[in-house]
């Protein structure tokens, strides 16, 4: 009888995701030019399981790319050279990454994102918000 824990190690999953993203970055780099580019002003993450929404608004830049802060808290969506696009909390802990996306896109990719919170993980769709008229 095995006493192995059947739940995957969260750190191992994060390390695996980081390794996948590093491999994507090594194999395919897309140059970025701010010339003529307009960044999203805001977007919403919509949770798959229950439709819960979190809105992020543009708030400056980090590493030469737009930075976005969640409108109801201190969660950031930013791009770094090592992690690509991701969400992080105030102490720099990475809490979400896009799935199946190139790490060097000029703005957060409109795709499915996976979050990590304590022992839970959720899937979200990133949906751009239309500019107000």
What pLDDT, in 10s, does the model give residues 65-118? 999 999 998 999 999 998 899 999 988 899 999 998 766 788 999 999 999 988
Residue at 101 is within a domain: yes
Q: What is the pTM of this model?
A: 0.69
Residue 87's pLDDT is 97
H or E, element range at 14: helix 10-27
Host domain of residue 105: 42-128
Q: In this model, does residue 16 exceed pLDDT 80?
A: no
Number of domains in the chain: 1
Residue 32's pLDDT is 35
Residue at 72 is within a domain: yes
Residue at 2 is within a domain: no
pLDDT top residue among 42 and 14: 42
Residue at 86 is within a domain: yes
Residue 2's pLDDT is 45
Is 63 in contact with 76 (CB distance < 8 Å)?
no
Residue at 33 is within a domain: no
Residue at 3 is within a domain: no
Q: In this model, does residue 33 exceed pLDDT 80?
A: no
Residue at 48 is within a domain: yes
Q: What is the DSSP letter of 2?
A: -
Residue at 51 is within a domain: yes
């Amino acid at each position: 009888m095995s006493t192995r824990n059947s739940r995957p190690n969260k750190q191992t999953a994060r390390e695996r995701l980081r390794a996948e993203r590093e491999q994507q970055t090594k194999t395919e780099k897309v140059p970025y030019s701010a010339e003529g580019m307009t960044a999203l002003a805001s977007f919403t993450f919509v949770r798959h399981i229950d439709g819960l929404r979190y809105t992020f608004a543009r708030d400056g830049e980090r590493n030469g790319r737009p930075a976005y802060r969640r409108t109801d808290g201190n969660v950031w969506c930013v791009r770094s050279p090592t992690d690509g696009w991701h969400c992080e909390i105030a102490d720099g802990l990475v809490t979400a990454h896009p799935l199946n996306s190139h790490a060097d896109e000029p703005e957060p990719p409109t795709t499915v994102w996976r979050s990590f919170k304590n022992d839970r993980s959720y899937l979200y769709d990133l949906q751009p918000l239309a500019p107000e008229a």
